[in-house]
Structure 1
Amino acid sequence: MAAGPFALRLGPRLAAPTVASATRGGGRGSGRPTASRALVSKKPNKDHRLWIRKDSAGSGKKALCLVNTVSKLPNEKEAVYGALDRWTAFESEFPIIAAAKALEMLKKRRKWLQIIQVTKWLMSKGQVLTWTTYDTLLLALSMDGRVDEAESIWNTILETYTRSVPKKLFSRMIQIYNTRHLPDKVLEVIFEF
């Protein structure tokens, strides 16, 4: 081997382990040399991504547009779904972030009917089906006095996600039944938990 700075650092790594170095440490021998190892620096891989990040630029304006559009509509399913379909018609990807922001805006404004309409439309499209969305929908149904619909959606959630329902949704259903003075239903939810 050539004597030089690289030979000293890479020498033990390139050389085959000797019997003496392989069996150091009480004769048990791990099969690996115990000599110091050279530090190898790697270049960071800038193209490595765990997931593709959705673009959130302009999502606040899109959300506000959705809130304003839905607020002006009558309580008819065809009119609401048509307007929401037009809202997404020219998007290359479904505006998930804008829809989630719109639901938060509607929740702050206490527009329960519009939350129900938008959430059911999102569910029909198979979009934004998160625990927060389900929680917001259950709250909106409760505030709008539709306990039967909330119970139907709760049963669907339990059938679909048998083992992964968060405590927050159980708490929401207990709260709904408790405010409606339905102690038997509260006990059912507790036993399902």
Structure 2
Amino acid sequence: MLRRSLRTLHRLPFTCSSGSDTVAAHSFWSSHIELIAYWCNKHHIRDFSTSHKATSSRLYQQNELKPTLPVKDNDAIIDRIQGSTRGLKQGPPGKNLSSTEKRKFLVNTLLNLEDSKEVVYNTLDAWVAFEQDFPLASLKQALTALEKEEQWHRIVQVIKWMLSKGQGTTMRTYEQLVCALEKDNRAEEAHRIWQKKIAHDLQPVPWRFCHLMLAIYYRNNMLDKLIKLFKELEACGRKPPSKDIIRKVEDAYEMLGLKEEKKALLDKYKDLYNKPSQNDRKKGSKSKITKMNKTAG
């Protein structure tokens, strides 16, 4: 209201040309001056300065920044924090050990563990808990050490733990697992893993792995499975690399009384069958060395 009255006063002329205009202007000025006086009297108690707000704000900030604890208490808190983080800076036990020492520790631990899947899994979980990268190479070397000790059951547990972590899912790992299962008298389980993980695509499977499965079937009197796997390999265009494989299939046909199939097999692979096998070459080289030694003597 005050601003509106002031704007009106500003627009009024300062000179008047007639007496009537002077009377009108006087009445106008009187009414607006009374209005302005009323407004000022009504609001004179309000303080529009910002000094009070600024002062109260500064006091509030000073109260916030004022320490609530004595200096000695703050020092004690800092000491406690440093003490609690000192162990984290040092790292877990065994951080400064070399990979060889860690691997030896793992092998010795696994050899002395009780025969429990949960115990083995918990031990392996603790062993890799503080490793930045999964120690696959160390585990492979540990498995080799367990093979020398013929700890086939423990090898199966370690490989299954690795696979459960999504690690080491290679053809070599499954070959090692299948071999350990047969050594642990679990040929049926080895067959199930072969069927589930490998047999769906035989084309990229190395002949060494295929020969291993044929030998497992042969040693465990699983002759039907042996013949079936051999025919599947033939259907993929895989030609057996040695006559050792042909001999196992031939014996399977013989024991199952399948004489016609045996004859057809020998006719098909007669060239391969007449070649000396790797074992024959080894025997021949050994006999040759023996003859040379006798002649030299």
Normalising to structure 2: TM-score of the pair? 0.44
Unpaired runs of at least 5, structure 1: 1-56
Match of 1:154 among 180, 194, 203: 194
1:128 aligns to 2:165 (yes or no):
no
Give the equivalent residue in structure 2 for 1:30. none
State the secondary structure of the residue aligned to 2:111. helix
Aligned equivalents of 1:64, 1:99: Cα separation in 2: 11
Give the equivalent residue in structure 2 for 1:100. 140
Q: Report % sequence identity.
A: 39
Aligned equivalents of 1:173, 1:63: Cα separation in 2: 30
Give the equivalent residue in structure 2 for 1:171. 211
State the secondary structure of the residue aligned to 2:185. coil
1:184 aligns to 2:224 (yes or no):
yes
Superposed displacement of residue 78, structure 1 = 1.1
Superposed displacement of residue 173, structure 1 = 0.6
Higher relative CO (Cα under 8 Å, sequence separation at least 6) belongs to 1
Contact 1:59 1:97 in 2 (8 A): no
Give the equivalent residue in structure 1 for 2:128. 88
Aligned equivalents of 2:185, 2:107: Cα separation in 1: 22
Unpaired runs of at least 5, structure 2: 1-96, 234-297
| Deviations 1:124-178, CA, capped at 9 Å, x for gaps | 0111122222111111100111011101110122256553221111111111111
Cα–Cα, structure 1 residues 74 and 154, in superposed 2: closer, same or farther, change >3 Å? same
Q: CA RMSD in A?
A: 1.8
What letter corresponds to residue 204 of structure 2 in structure 1? S
1:112 aligns to 2:152 (yes or no):
yes
Cα–Cα, structure 1 residues 191 and 60, in superposed 2: closer, same or farther, change >3 Å? farther
When Rg is computed on C-alpha atoms for both structures, the one with the higher figure is 2
Cα–Cα, structure 1 residues 145 and 98, in superposed 2: closer, same or farther, change >3 Å? same
1:70 aligns to 2:146 (yes or no):
no
What letter corresponds to residue 231 of structure 2 in structure 1? F
Give the equivalent residue in structure 1 for 2:185. 145
Contact 1:112 1:144 in 2 (8 A): yes
Aligned equivalents of 1:85, 1:103: Cα separation in 2: 16
Aligned equivalents of 1:170, 1:191: Cα separation in 2: 12
Match of 1:60 among 100, 107, 119: 100
Aligned equivalents of 1:59, 1:166: Cα separation in 2: 31
Cα–Cα, structure 1 residues 192 and 65, in superposed 2: closer, same or farther, change >3 Å? farther
Cα–Cα, structure 1 residues 58 and 165, in superposed 2: closer, same or farther, change >3 Å? farther
